[in-house]
């Protein structure tokens, strides 16, 4: 067994076992604090922190394991995958959330006033979809290389 293999196993153990277990411990502590009438927001932050560490560990492992360890394009492919993930997953989900927020704010206030907050939500959603579309267009041109659009 090599040192690198041991570090990989330690990372998997922390990301897949320990951090979700610690998140459950923070949930239990939050319930206990809530039952005593105390502020339980710090336990909630602990839950989110543990789950974020677990998710980020898995994401970094996925991005780094796409190519062999001695491949010179490993860093480039990790960056391309990260940008692709943001452009195809995160930005459209964020845009959908802002469309929902804008619709709720428009339904609650029922005012068509350009200075109201609903316009900001719809504009944010449109900008997210614009950036997502531009990233997909750039990705299309990069993957086609010199062949261009036919």
Q: Are 128 and 80 in contact (CB under 8 A)?
A: no
Residue 129 tokens read as: 């979809």
- For the chain, the first-to-last Cα distance in angstroms comes to 52
Q: When comparing pLDDT for 53 and 143, which is higher?
A: 53
DSSP string for residues in 5-49: HHHHHHHHHIIIIIHHHHHHHHHHHHHHHHHTT---HHHHHHHHH
| Whether the predicted model's global pTM rises above the 0.75 cut | no
Express each pLDDT in 77-117 by its tens digit.
777 777 888 888 889 999 999 999 888 888 777 666 666 67
Judged by phi (left if over 0) then psi (alpha if -120 to 50, else beta), residue 111 lies in beta
pLDDT value of residue 148:
53
Of the spans 46-60, 67-81, 109-123, which averages the highest pLDDT?
Answer: 46-60
């Amino acid at each position: 067994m090599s040192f690198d293999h041991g570090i990989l196993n330690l990372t998997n153990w922390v990301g897949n076992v320990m951090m979700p277990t610690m998140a459950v411990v923070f949930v239990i502590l939050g319930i206990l604090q809530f039952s005593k009438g105390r502020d339980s927001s710090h336990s909630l932050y602990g839950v989110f922190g543990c789950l974020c560490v677990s998710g980020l560990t898995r994401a970094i492992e996925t991005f780094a394991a796409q190519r062999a360890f001695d491949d010179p394009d490993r860093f480039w492919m990790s960056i391309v995958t990260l940008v692709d993930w943001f452009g195809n997953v995160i930005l459209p989900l964020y845009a959908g959330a802002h469309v929902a927020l804008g619709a709720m704010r428009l339904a609650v206030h029922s005012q068509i006033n350009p200075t109201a907050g609903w316009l900001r939500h719809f504009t944010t959603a449109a900008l997210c979809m614009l950036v997502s579309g531009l990233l997909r267009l750039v990705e299309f041109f990069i993957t086609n290389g010199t062949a261009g659009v036919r």
